[in-house]
Amino acid sequence: MNKKITELLLTITMTTLLLAGCGQLAPTPAESSTPTGSSEPPPDTTPVVYMTLDISSEGLMAVYEALGWMPTGNVAVKLSTGEPPNSNYLRPELIKDLVQLVDGTIVECNTAYGGSRAETAMHYQVAVDHGFTAIADVDIQDANGSMSIPVVGGTQLTENFVGASFADYDSYLVLSHFKGHAMAGFGGAIKNTSIGTGSSEGKCWIHSAGNSMTSPWGGEQDHFLEAMAEASKSVYDYLGNGEQIVYINVMNRLSVDCDCNGNPTEPDMHDIGILASTDPVALD
C-alpha cells in the first residue's frame, strides 16, 4: 500500500433514518443476526475512509487505488464544472489521469438558479472554457429532461429527479471539491450526489422538499437538508446499493462558499488532503 495513504476507521453515529440508509453500522446486540451464545462475533461493517496528504494527480490516483474498486460498463465521473469566473472547481490537470484511467465521461446537470450553467449550451461552453472537454467527453445529463428514481424510507421525498441520461451509465466515480455552502453547511459527496446529480427540475424538488419542480426558493431549511440526504441515498440505492459508486473528496481551496459561487471568498484555512470511501456518510 502506498505510504502516503492513511487508513482511517470511522464509526458513524446516525440519528436520522435517511443517513442510516447510506452508512453501515455494526449491528447492536438487539439487531445482531449472530445466535445467542455463539462464539463468532458479528462481522465488522465499520466504514473505511482512505486519506492522503498529497493533493496531486499522483495522490488522487493512490487514494482511488486504495479503494480496490473496479468500475464496470459505461463509467460516469460526477463533478462540478464550477460557476465562472473564479470558482474553486477541481482543475482538469488534477483529475485527468484518473478520469482517463477509468475511461470515464464527465457528467453534470444544469443549475436551477440562473448563472452561466442554467442552459445546456451555456453549461457545455463552461465545460469547454474550464478545460474539461480537453480531457474527456462531457455529458450534461438533463439536456433532454429528467428521469425519476425511487426514494425508499424518506420523510420528505418519495422520488428523486436526476438527469435523463443518468441510467446510461453503469458505474459512478464521484469527485467532489469539499467546501462550504450557504444552505447545506458544506458540500461534499452527499451534496454532489443529490443536488449535483439532480436535474434542474430535481434541484428545485430537493430545495423545496418535494413541493416544487420549478422554483428552488422558499423551502424550510431542515426539510431541505433531509431531502438532500434522501436524494443522495436514492442514488446510492439505485446503483446496486452502493456497489456501483465510489466517492472521493478533495479538500483544497477550502472556501466557505460553494463552487456554484463564481466569486467565492478566499480560503482562510490550509489545504488538508484527498479522502476516499465507498460510504458517503463516513467520507463527509
- pLDDT for the residue numbered 48: 97
Residue 22's Cα: distance from chain center in Å? 12
What's the whole-number mean pLDDT along residues 236-247?
98
What's the pTM? 0.85
Domain enclosing residue 131, as ranges: 5-283
Number of compact structural domains in the chain:
1
Give 105's pLDDT tier (boundaries 50, 70, 90).
very high
H or E element, residue 94 = helix 92-101
Give 42's pLDDT tier (boundaries 50, 70, 90).
confident
- Please give the DSSP secondary-structure letter assigned to residue 222: H
Q: What is the CATH number of the domain that holds 112?
A: 3.40.50.11440
Nearest to 200 by CA among 126, 116, 143: 143
Contact of 87 with 185, CB cutoff 8 Å: no
Percent of the chain at pLDDT > 90 equals 74
- pLDDT for the residue numbered 193: 98
Nearest to 92 by CA among 128, 143, 122, 59: 128
- pLDDT for the residue numbered 41: 67
How far apart are alpha carbons 187 and 225 in whole angstroms? 12
What's the whole-number mean pLDDT along residues 78-100?
96
Mean pLDDT for the chain overall: 87
Give 25's pLDDT tier (boundaries 50, 70, 90).
very low
C-alpha cell belonging to residue 178: 469539499
Higher pLDDT: 220 or 23? It is 220
Nearest to 210 by CA among 158, 163, 259, 140: 158
- The span from the first CA to the last CA of the chain, in angstroms, equals 23
